[in-house]
Amino acid sequence: MSLKGTTSRGAIAPAATLPTAGNAVETRSLPGFSDADSCVADNCDLLSLARPRKADMTGSLLADREIVVAMITPLGCPADETENAFKDAFARHDYRCKTLRISMLLDEEVPDEAVVSTASDPERLMDKGDLFRQQYNSDGACAYMAAQRIAMQREEDTGDPTKHRTRHVTLVRSLKTPGEVRVLRQIYGPRVVVVGVSASHEARRVELIKELRRSLDKDEAVGRASRLLERDEKDERPRFGQRTRDAFQLADAFVVVGSSEDRSTVDRFVD
């Protein structure tokens, strides 16, 4: 089930040291992945681990399969409350909900020295995501990484990466490209639900400035926040940059953070 260049933990890692910023990036391939938007499921071991068997797609058998809720969260969006609302709603139905952050996986797999050292934390993670997608020549590479980590956690919990955990939900934060949405749907089929979590542009700007102020002065934080928000929505520079706005259009459901309907929307969705 391992992707090319995996570590002993099984998470995606390059076979050689990642290049430093500014150097050429070696392109690696994902098994069964012919380009940024398509995947040959029958040739990908990871898909066979995660995809439900046909017999499990009907009747009560589906309740015993794991569920994946993938959140698309624009930069600066204060989505912790929405995450907690999902956990509370699933708990009322006796489902255990565990969060998996793609940003955490990127920090594990892409060393800091591979990106610009002077970048702020949000910018550093953006650069790592761009580099990771470029390495594997796929704007869905981060979704494969998340799916593989889910399979690893399943193996840790059950002793078998193909055995699904009963009444278990993995909450994935956060998708940033249309390719990531497509890859998760190809892997999990009807067991994945993609949720777009939004907030007003001003609310996101204010939250981002607060985060940037940890390492920058006020004027620089304000200027950089505007640039980063634009880059997050649609990065026009690299082929494998973030395109949160385009990914958002592919969501199955939408939640507005801070609205009076926030928790009730999540409750209705889960129920």
pLDDT digits (tens, 9 = 90+) for 192-224: 999 999 888 888 888 888 888 887 878 888 888
Residue 6 confidence (pLDDT) above 60: no
Q: Where are the alpha helices (DSSP H) in 112-177?
A: 121-135, 141-158
Is the distance from CB of 103 to CB of 191 less than 8 angstroms? no
> In the sheet that 168-175 helps form, which strands lie side by side, from edge to edge?
96-101, 168-175, 67-72, 192-198, 253-256
pLDDT at 67: 93
Residue 55 confidence (pLDDT) above 60: no
> Mean per-residue pLDDT for 183-187?
95
> Mean per-residue pLDDT for 172-196?
94
Q: How confident is the model at residue 3 (pLDDT cuts 50, 70, 90)?
A: very low
Residue 59 confidence (pLDDT) above 60: no
Q: Tell me how far apart the alpha carbons of residues 213 and 226 are, in angstroms, rounded to a whole number.
A: 14
pLDDT at 268: 83
Q: Tell me how far apart the alpha carbons of residues 142 and 133 are, in angstroms, rounded to a whole number.
A: 7
> What pLDDT digit, counting tens, does each position of 79-127 carry?
888 899 999 999 999 999 999 999 999 999 999 999 987 668 888 888 8
Q: Which of the residue ranges 56-60, 85-89, 129-133 would you say has the lowest mean pLDDT?
A: 56-60
The closest alpha carbon to 70, from 190, 210, 195, 245, belongs to: 195
Residue 251 confidence (pLDDT) above 90: yes
* Of 9-13, 31-35, 68-72, 160-164, highest mean pLDDT: 68-72
> Mean per-residue pLDDT for 149-153?
94
pLDDT at 32: 36
pLDDT at 60: 41
Mean pLDDT of the chain: 76
94 exposure class (CB count in 10 Å sphere: 0-12, 13-18, 19+): exposed
pLDDT at 135: 92
Give me the sign of the Cα torsion angle 231, 234, 235, 241: positive
Crossing angle of helices 121-135/102-109, nearest 10°? 70
Q: How confident is the model at residue 63 (pLDDT cuts 50, 70, 90)?
A: low
Q: Considering only residues 253 and 14, tell me which one the structure prediction assigns the higher pLDDT.
A: 253
* H/E run at residue 47: helix 45-50
Residue for token pair 């953006």 = 126
Q: Considering only residues 162 and 3, tell me which one the structure prediction assigns the higher pLDDT.
A: 162
> Can you give the pTM of this predicted structure?
0.74
What token pair was written down for 154? 């399943």
> Mean per-residue pLDDT for 121-147?
92
Q: How confident is the model at residue 250 (pLDDT cuts 50, 70, 90)?
A: very high
Is the distance from CB of 47 to CB of 192 less than 8 angstroms? no
pLDDT at 237: 61
